[in-house]
Structure 1
Amino acid sequence: MAGDIFQSFGRATPAARHAIPAEDAIALLKSGAAKDGSLLGYGNGRSYGDTCQNQAGSVVDMRPLNRVRAFNAETGVLEADAGVLLCDIIAHAAPHGFFPAVVPGTQFVTLGGAIANDVHGKNHHRRGTFGCHVESLTLLRSDGKTYRCSATSNARLFRATIGGMGLTGLILSASIRLMRVPSLDIVEKATPFGDLGEFFELTEAADQANEYAVAWIDQLAGGRGRGLLFTGNHAEHGLHAASRAGARLSVPLQPPFNVLNRPFLTAFNAAYRWKKGRSAAPRQVGYQGFFFPLDGVGDWNRLYGPTGLFQHQSVVPEGPARHAVPALLEAARRAGQGSFLTVLKRFGRVRSPALLSFPRPGFTLTLDFPNRGEKTLRLLAELDRITIEAGGAVNPYKDARMGAETFAASFPDWPRLEAVRDPAFMSDFWARTVKKLDERQGTAQAAE
Structure 2
Amino acid sequence: MAAISSWGRLGRWEHEVQALTGQEHIIRQLKNGRPGIAHGMGRSYGDVCLNPNGILWDTTKLDHFIRFDENTGRLHCEAGVLLRDIQRLFIPRGWILPVTPGTQFITVGGAIANDVHGKNHHVSGSFGDHIRQLTLIRSDSPPISCGPGLEPDWFAATVGGFGLTGIITEAEIQLRRVPGPWLATETLPYNSLAEFFSLADASETGWEHTVSWLDCLHSKSVRGLFMRGNPTPLALSHGPSSRKLAMPFVPPVSLVNPLSLPVLNTGYFHLKKRDSGQRLVQYEAFFYPLDNLLDWNRMYGPKGFFQYQSVVPRPVGFDAVQAMLKEIAKSGEGSFLAVLKTFGDRKPVGMMSFPQPGVTLALDFPNQGQRTHKLFGKLDAIVREAGGRIYLAKDARMPRDLFIAGYPRLSEFLQYRDPGMSSALSRRLIGE
TM-score, normalised via structure 2 length: 0.95
Corresponding residue for residue 326 of structure 1: 322
Tell whether the 8 Å contact from 1:195 to 1:225 is kept in structure 2 after alignment: yes
Corresponding residue for residue 88 of structure 2: 91
Aligned length, in residue pairs: 432
CA deviations over 1:157-208 (Å, ceiling 9, x no partner): 1111100101111110101011111111111111111110111122101122
Q: Distance in 1 between matches of 2:377 and 2:364?
A: 14
Shift of 1:100: 0.5
2:5 to 4, 7, 10: 7
CA 1:142–1:287 in structure 2 vs 1: closer, same or farther (change >3 Å)?
A: same
For 1:302-341, what aligned pairs fall within 5 Å after superposition?
A: 302-341=298-337
Q: Distance in 1 between matches of 2:388 and 2:239?
A: 37
Aligned partner letter, 2:356: R
Tell whether the 8 Å contact from 2:183 to 2:232 is kept in structure 1 after alignment: yes
1:79 to 67, 76, 80: 76
Aligned partner letter, 1:18: E
Tell whether the 8 Å contact from 1:141 to 1:168 is kept in structure 2 after alignment: yes
For 1:165-176, what aligned pairs fall within 5 Å after superposition?
A: 165-176=162-173
1:205 to 202, 205, 209: 202
Q: Does 1:50 align with 2:50?
A: no
Q: Does 1:353 align with 2:344?
A: no
Corresponding residue for residue 262 of structure 1: 258
CA 1:32–1:84 in structure 2 vs 1: closer, same or farther (change >3 Å)?
A: closer
Corresponding residue for residue 421 of structure 1: 417
Shift of 1:24: 8.7
CA 1:124–1:241 in structure 2 vs 1: closer, same or farther (change >3 Å)?
A: farther
CA 1:428–1:61 in structure 2 vs 1: closer, same or farther (change >3 Å)?
A: same
Shift of 1:390: 1.1
Q: Distance in 2 between matches of 1:409 and 1:137?
A: 29
Equivalent position SS for 1:9: coil
Shift of 1:291: 0.7
Tell whether the 8 Å contact from 1:168 to 1:422 is kept in structure 2 after alignment: yes
CA deviations over 1:284-303 (Å, ceiling 9, x no partner): 01111111011011110000
Q: Does 1:105 align with 2:123?
A: no
CA deviations over 1:375-412 (Å, ceiling 9, x no partner): 11111121111111011111112100111101001101
1:431 to 422, 427, 430: 427
Tell whether the 8 Å contact from 1:254 to 1:305 is kept in structure 2 after alignment: yes
Shift of 1:13: 4.1
Shift of 1:243: 7.6
For 1:209-220, what aligned pairs fall within 5 Å after superposition?
A: 209-220=206-217
Corresponding residue for residue 182 of structure 1: 179
Q: Does 1:18 align with 2:16?
A: yes
Tell whether the 8 Å contact from 1:183 to 1:239 is kept in structure 2 after alignment: no
1:394 to 381, 390, 397: 390
CA 1:411–1:63 in structure 2 vs 1: closer, same or farther (change >3 Å)?
A: same
Corresponding residue for residue 300 of structure 1: 296
The Cα RMSD (Å) is 2.1
CA 1:253–1:356 in structure 2 vs 1: closer, same or farther (change >3 Å)?
A: same
Shift of 1:74: 1.2
TM-score, normalised via structure 1 length: 0.92
CA 1:31–1:261 in structure 2 vs 1: closer, same or farther (change >3 Å)?
A: closer
Corresponding residue for residue 124 of structure 1: 121
Shift of 1:32: 6.1
Q: Distance in 2 between matches of 1:18 and 1:374?
A: 31
CA 1:295–1:11 in structure 2 vs 1: closer, same or farther (change >3 Å)?
A: same
Q: Does 1:138 align with 2:135?
A: yes
Q: Distance in 2 between matches of 1:61 and 1:32?
A: 13
Gaps of 5+ in 1: 437-448
Corresponding residue for residue 358 of structure 2: 362
Corresponding residue for residue 252 of structure 1: 248
Gaps of 5+ in 2: none
Equivalent position SS for 1:18: strand
Corresponding residue for residue 156 of structure 1: 153
Tell whether the 8 Å contact from 2:16 to 2:53 is kept in structure 1 after alignment: no
Q: Distance in 1 between matches of 2:71 and 2:31?
A: 43
Shift of 1:424: 0.3
Tell whether the 8 Å contact from 1:13 to 1:400 is kept in structure 2 after alignment: no
Q: Distance in 2 between matches of 1:398 and 1:185?
A: 29
Q: Distance in 2 between matches of 1:175 and 1:25?
A: 16
Tell whether the 8 Å contact from 2:239 to 2:282 is kept in structure 1 after alignment: no
